[in-house]
Structure 1
Amino acid sequence: MNIPKGYRFGAVAASFKKQGKLDLGAIVSDTPAVAAGVFTTNKFKAAPVLQCQEMLNTGRKFSGFLINSGQANACTGDLGRANCRETLNLAAKALDVPADELLPASTGVIGAQFDMDKWEAAMPGLAQSMTVDSAENTAKAIMTTDTVHKLAGVTVSLAGGDVRLLGMCKGAGMISPKMATMLSFITCDAAIDAAAWKAMLVDCVDRTINRVTIDGDTSTNDSVIALANGASGVDVATDEDRELLRGALHTVLEELAYKIVMDAEGGTKVAFIEVSGAQSDADAELVARAVGNSPLVKTALFGSDPNWGRIICAAGYSGAEFAAEDLKLEIGGVLVFQNGTPEPGDMDDLLGPIMRKRDIVIGIELGTGPGACRLLASDLTREYISINADYRS
């Protein structure tokens, strides 16, 4: 695993979820790091989101993350904000870092207030769990309906030497980003200017995490937060270095994005919806999201049904500007529709093997314009309904 230098990870079972399940995690940098974050656009931002945004606006450096699952601390009012700050005070004392250098994040049921006695009781165990090789446990502690923990790491060689990036995330439902849709934490040991790090994160999130959908919902708690502590001793000093680091960050986030959709609640398929030839990127995204969020398309994917008309229909109501006769559709590389009419041949026979695969590429060409978008989408299954019908049971 590509563990960046100068970070420690930990996790403990604090009984926020089922007894004995890891549900409280922390990541601590030995030296304060530059930080950047991208957060949900939902009007009902959770207490930790508001706290993070307020703290990041100070422009200071930070020493780590404090993360819990089981309770979202969203829609909890002034008491929720006060409890969030108090968790930072408790963790700061246990982990020996300043409270104003810890960035909080939470996930779980909306509306429940923290049990602060549980938080206080969990702190000694959290402190004892902190090691350089415990990232996997931290990734497990932030899971909710996820079936697997999600990690991605990479090492990249810059002019001054190697730097490492490690990302972890949780997310399986309430996924359709207008920022990012889940919790994701990036650690990096490069030395980089804070403004450049933020610009890099925003750009990479927009092209990866922002291009996935499971169920059309955007959470109250969505956060992607990244630290770069400089512990490698390698400065990101040139344009070439910046592009190399940007590429590495994109790789990490791209892998996490795929893992989210692959682990969609009840999901069995990942559709790679690739739209090209649009008048603009915005139009291409409208089509991609209409197709990726269509319940009819998603259920067809689940049933391995090559019902391509549902894709054409979704593109047509997407709101994107294009001529109907210009649309061309391919599924798994098989041309299905163009010039306003279906291609000849037995499409059920041609597409059947493709539709039974886990990963399915849906190519939609709208014309000859410069606009393009790639979106990853899951199918919609009976299991998704069961999971969310029983979520609080």
Structure 2
Amino acid sequence: MIPVPKGYSFAAVPAGFKKDRNDLAVIVSDRPAVAAGVFTTNRFQAAPVLVARERLERADAMRAVVINAGQANACTGEAGLADCLESCRLLAEALGLEEGEILPASTGVIGVRMPMDKWATAMPLVQANLGQAAATDFARAIMTTDAFPKMAAARLTSPDGKECAIFGMAKGAGMICPNMATMLGVVLTDAEVAPEQWRSVLRAAVDASFNRVTVDGDTSTNDCVFALANGASGVTIGDGELQGLAEGVAQVCQTLAYMIVQDAEGGSKVVRIHVSGARSMGDAEIVARTIGHSPLVKTAMYGRDPNWGRIVAALGRSGVDFNPGDVNLSLCGIPIFAKGAPIPQDHKALLAPHMRRQDIHIHLSIGSGPGSYVLLASDLTHEYVTINAEYTT
């Protein structure tokens, strides 16, 4: 069983935002929790993103997270902002919290306002269900096109032998690309940590995980990751324990990020693109993203076609400066292109068993520079087109 940190209660109820399922999820800490958040860079930021950002800029501690599925409450103007604030007011009233202690998030169709009558009707259900639901119920309630709930955990032991837990949940399967992706995430710990340290830990973890995945190159209006640390375990994170906490949070986020690519809408592959030898990390990232976003590369991965020409062509149009004679490429650990030319061998026969696997590794060395970057990408399938061609119809 995945360990859940102490001091948190969950609720997951059917509010009627989506048909025949739980679609409203709440987490409440039994005490004020040090809070941090990372948000989408899309200029069309959804109402809950604006509200949560403002609250985290104003205060270090929060008590609750609320997420609804069905309506993104994005591109809804001042009316949508008022709806978000009203939803927080209703929840605060039902659970005896302060409105400003609640971090809201939404996922669903852009441009659709939330049905506030359903929010009001759902509050007695939330009140009755709080503490009765499991973390798994929360993770399922925030799903949209996800095929499975995404959860991960880690433990940290303090020098005096006390243990604290780190636990994360996320949703996301499509419209995935940093910064960040169409994803929502919540990280919880029962350790006590200073606000600035907690914010730094979360930023670093997100940069090493959720900001290194792509499904389709689209950045959403609603992306956010919240992190709460409530100290219920009695473990205090000092300078000596900070690295261990950071590693635990990064591990949880990286596991969730992998699951998001694994669950890509219609996806069948997780493609690990490692670019090395670039003049800088920035150059390596540009190359990795050019390859990871390429429909030609992605469809080749889906078709189990070791078409290395599409990979080096993507490198060539990336805009990064390199010497073609320095380029080496391996696919699934097998060298297929060296010093700017293909290695004479039967690539298809050699790679056929490897291309049938879910995990495909691409390693592209483009020189002798210090720059390196790793990106996780999905393939592109017929089902992805079907899902997204019919999303609102």
Supply the distance in 2 between the matched residues of 1:276 and 1:131 (Cα, whole angstroms): 48
1:1-393 aligned at under 5 Å gives the runs: 1-18=2-19, 20-131=20-131, 134-160=134-160, 161-238=162-239, 240-393=240-393
Give the letter for the 1:6 counterpart: G
CA contact (8 A) 2:60 2:195 kept: no
**What code does the residue aligned with 2:358 have?**
R
Does the CA-based 8 Å contact 2:145-2:173 persist in structure 1?
A: yes
Structure 2 Cα separation of the partners of residues 151 and 130 of structure 1: 19
SS of equivalent residue, structure 1 residue 217: coil
3-state SS of paired residue (2:58) = coil
Q: Which amino acid aligns with 1:223?
A: C
Root mean square deviation of aligned Cα:
1.0
* Contact kept? 1:180, 1:224, Cα under 8 Å: no
C-alpha contact (below 8 Å) 2:175/2:181 kept by paired residues = no
Query: Number of paired residues?
Result: 391
Q: Secondary structure at the match of 1:325?
A: helix
SS in 2 for 1:260: helix
1:159: how far off?
2.0
Overall identity of the aligned pairs, in %: 52
How far is the alpha carbon of 1:132 from its aligned partner? 6.8
One-letter identity of the residue aligned with 2:197: A
Say if 1:90 and 1:123, in contact at 8 Å, map to a contact too.
yes
Deviations 1:81-139, CA, capped at 9 Å, x for gaps: 01100000111111221111000000000001111100000111112112276111111
Structure 2 distance, partners of 1:153, 1:147, is 20
User: Contact 2:25 / 2:142 at 8 angstroms: preserved in 1?
Assistant: yes
Counterparts of 1:126 and 1:179 in 2: how far apart (Å)? 29
Give me the whole-angstrom Cα distance separating, in 1, the residues matched to 2:167 and 2:64: 14
Q: What is the one-letter code of the residue matched to 2:190?
A: D
The whole-number CA distance in structure 1 between the counterparts of 2:70 and 2:59 is 30
Matched residue SS, 2:383: helix
- The residue type paired with residue 291 of structure 2 is V
Moved over 6 A (4+): none
Deviation at 1:181, TM superposition (A): 3.9
Describe the SS at the equivalent of 2:21: coil
| 2:139 partner letter | A
Alpha-carbon deviations, 1:171-218, whole Å to 9, x = none?
A: 000001113441001111110000011011111100111000000000
* Cα displacement string for residues 222-264 of structure 1 (whole angstroms, at most 9, x for unaligned residues): 00110111111111012x3110000000110000000000000
Q: Which amino acid aligns with 2:21?
A: K
Bigger CA drift: 113-122 or 316-325? 316-325
The runs of 5 or more residues in structure 2 that have no matched partner are: none
- Answer yes or no: is the 8 Å Cα contact 1:38–1:180 preserved in 2: no
SS of the residue corresponding to residue 57 of structure 1 reads helix
CA contact (8 A) 1:181 1:210 kept: no
Instruction: Output the amino acid matched with 2:234.
Output: G
SS in 1 for 2:136: helix
Paired with 2:133 and 2:71, the residues of 1 have a C-alpha distance of 26
More displaced 10-residue stretch of structure 1: 168-177 or 361-370: 361-370
How far apart are residue 321 of structure 1 and its match? 2.2
Partner amino acid, structure 2, of 1:7: Y
Deviation at 1:307, TM superposition (A): 0.5
Amino acid corresponding to residue 174 of structure 1 in structure 2: M
C-alpha deviation, 1:392, in angstroms: 1.1
